[in-house]
Every structure is written in C-alpha cells, then in structure tokens.
C-alpha cells in the first residue's frame, strides 16, 4: 500500500512540475517581449531610422488590432526587434503611407486543426487525470465518498444551523462596486502610459482651436479617464474644463449644463458621434456637430465631419 502511495504521489508531482515549467517559460517569454515594446512616440522616431531593415505589420485574427515590428541590424549584422501594439492596423497603414515608409503585411494566419482541436483536448484530458489522481490519493481509493456532493454540502450554515442560500450571498452590490473601482484604476493607468494612436491631425487641430475658442470635454467615462488621456497626449493645456459621470454621477446632458454654468457659457456647440450624444445635446439645449468618422450614427440632419481636421473649416458663428 505504501508503494502505491509513493507511485501516485510521484506521478502527480511530475505532472505538476511539467505544468509549472510551462507556465514559467510562458511568463519568461512575456517579460522578454515587454522589454522590446515601444511607445508611439518612440515608434515615430525609430521608424525613419537608417538602421531599420524592415517594418512588418501583423494583424490579429478577426479584429483590426495587431502589432508593428521594427527589425534592425547593427554593425555586427545582428538582428533585433522592437514591437508597437496598435488598436487598429488600418490607422497605422495610413500613417505609413503618409510618411512614405515601406512595410510588409502578411496574411492573417489561420489556426491549424492541431492547435484548435488536438491541443485543447489533450490539455483537458491531462487536467482530468490530475484531478482524479489527487482525489484518489487523498481519499485512499474512496472516490465515491470524495465525489458525493449532496445538498447538505451545497449549503452554508451559521449559528443556530440557519441555512443561507447562494442567492443571498452572491452578487453583493458592495463587492461589484469595489471590483469596478479596481478595474477603472487599472484602465486609467493603462490609458495614461500605453501607446496612443490619435486621429489624423488631431493634436494640431486641438491646439489651433484652443487659440480661438475655449475647449471642454464632456464624456461618458469613469473618474480619472480624461485626465489620463490628456496626460498621455500632452493636450491638457488646451482644455479649459471637463467632467464625466464618474465625477458627477449625472447623465451627459446634465454634465454639459454643469460645464456651461460653471464656466459662464451661454452658447456652445458639441462634437459627438452617437445618437446618445445627439439626445444629450437636445437635453442641454445646444447644437451638435456629427463626427461621421467616429463610432456611431445619428438620426436627423447635422453639420457633418468626415475627418478631425475639418473642425478648422467650420464657421462656428453660424450656430
């Protein structure tokens, strides 16, 4: 009996070690790639470097996200690679064409049958075998008892043998709010430091407009998001004031009025790209310019923009 226990323990230990080794190798690879990642500003400088041998744009499957590889060769003919992860490869293609930079863009690779079917099945079988091996060793062969999840084990009990059901403890509002806070904080940190691909001519358009008008931001986002964006883009000095539901707890229409009253504004125009923006402007009593290059559509007739730079061509006195 002792020999059987030793053999069972040894098998489980080996399998656990293999899984641990795989995870460590994966993490090591991730850290290595992290060192080779660059920001958008670094990319703009390096893309025109004479040592760049090749630029390769790789698109992810089914989505426009991807990465740009800058491949260098030094004096010793040794190759090195820098990566820029992008949210839309179409935008980076337009940038490359505008700058007259040559690049390669291979076709998106289809997943092989082995990777999508065989590997997941093998990993699942290995996991099931590991679970049964551990349970068999702990129960000394008494699998029937170990797998006996009756109703009594599915309940929680407190003092006085009071029964508490799952619906009474799951999905508490406080826990959800706490989780949301952590997720928002992580997103804000990422927005503040991650590579940021902007609309064409956006920075220069914002700076030019800020010399003629006071600019404000009202957006449906969490507290801290706008500040992170402005820090990343360096446009904070162009914006007079901003607010969001995360700061006020109010809808966009109310937030537009808050900005106007707080800054003594009687006339304003909002640039939006969704029906929600149009409804908010109607609620606030101001006109809207529709940014057709954005993410949504609107009902009705609006002054329409096809690109960000067209904001400089509008006669705002007509609104």
Does residue 186 lie within any of the structural domains? no
Please tell me which residue, 135 or 255, carries the higher pLDDT value.
Answer: 255
Query: What CATH number does the domain containing 308 carry?
Result: 3.40.50.1000
Please tell me which residue, 310 or 58, carries the higher pLDDT value.
Answer: 310
Does residue 197 lie within any of the structural domains? yes
CA 32 to chain centre: 21
Does residue 298 lie within any of the structural domains? yes
User: If you write DSSP's letter for every residue of 285-316 in order, what string do you get?
Assistant: T--EEEETTSS---SS--EEESSGGGGGG--G
**How many separate domains does the chain show?**
1
| 85-120 tens-digit pLDDT | 888 888 888 888 888 888 888 887 666 666 666 777
Domain that holds residue 255: 192-318
Cα–Cα distance for residue pair 178/6, rounded to 1 Å: 45
Does residue 114 lie within any of the structural domains? no
Does residue 90 lie within any of the structural domains? no
Does residue 216 lie within any of the structural domains? yes
Confidence tier at 122 by pLDDT (50, 70, 90): confident
Does residue 43 lie within any of the structural domains? no
Does residue 296 lie within any of the structural domains? yes
């Amino acid at each position: 009996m002792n020999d059987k226990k030793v053999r069972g323990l040894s098998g489980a230990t080996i399998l656990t070690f293999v899984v641990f080794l795989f995870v460590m190798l994966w993490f090591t690879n991730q850290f290595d790639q992290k060192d080779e990642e660059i920001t958008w500003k670094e990319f703009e400088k390096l893309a025109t470097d004479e040592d760049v041998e090749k630029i390769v744009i790789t698109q992810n499957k089914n989505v426009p996200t991807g990465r740009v590889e800058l491949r260098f060769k030094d004096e010793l003919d040794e190759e090195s690679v820098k990566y820029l992860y992008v949210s839309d490869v179409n935008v980076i293609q337009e940038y490359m064409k505008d700058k007259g930079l040559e690049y390669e863009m291979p076709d998106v690779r289809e997943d092989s049958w082995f990777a999508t079917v065989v590997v997941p099945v093998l990993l699942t079988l290995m996991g099931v075998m590991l679970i049964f091996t551990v349970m068999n060793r702990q129960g000394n062969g008494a699998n029937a008892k170990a797998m006996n999840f009756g109703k009594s084990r599915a309940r929680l009990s407190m003092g006085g043998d009071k029964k508490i059901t799952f619906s009474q403890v799951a999905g508490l509002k406080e826990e959800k709010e706490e989780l949301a806070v952590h997720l928002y904080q992580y997103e804000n940190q990422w927005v503040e430091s991650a590579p940021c691909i902007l609309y064409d001519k956006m920075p220069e358009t914002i700076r030019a407009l800020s010399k003629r008008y006071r600019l404000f931001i009202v957006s449906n986002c969490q507290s801290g998001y706008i500040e992170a964006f402005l820090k990343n883009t360096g446009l904070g000095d162009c914006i007079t004031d901003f607010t969001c539901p995360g700061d006020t707890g109010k809808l966009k229409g109310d937030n537009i009025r808050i900005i106007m009253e707080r800054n003594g504004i009687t006339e304003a125009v909002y640039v939006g790209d969704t029906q929600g923006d149009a409804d908010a402007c109607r609620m606030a009593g101001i006109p809207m310019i529709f940014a057709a290059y954005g993410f949504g559509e609107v009902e009705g007739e609006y002054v329409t923009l096809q690109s960000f730079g067209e904001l400089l061509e509008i006669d705002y006195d007509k609104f």
